[in-house]
Amino acid sequence: MAAGRAVALDVRPAEEYAAGHIPGALSIPVDELADRIGELPEHTEVVVYCRGAYCALAYDAVRLLTARGRRAIRLDDGMLEWRLADLPVDAGGAAA
């Protein structure tokens, strides 16, 4: 991500993003993604995550993004596993 080759995309509702998200992640709730896809960099891989490893939101987002010609993958884990691993979390602020 730091090199600009990938962007993290949080597809949870905006309230959940504001409560804590992966540092640098963009917030586009999955139900808004079809209308807001243009906010994502065109030639950058999108790494999608949501609540946890089995959260359907990330699967839905990856399907939508790839159907629209974007390179997208799902993060194996979600925010729950990220927090349990004691990795950095940003909280507060408005969703992007």
Give catalytic residue positions: 50
Whether residue 20 contacts residue 90, with contact meaning beta carbons closer than 8 Å, is answered with yes
**Cα separation, 17 vs 52, whole angstroms:** 13
Report the SS3 class of residue 4: coil
Which tokens in the block code for residue 11? Answer: 């597809």
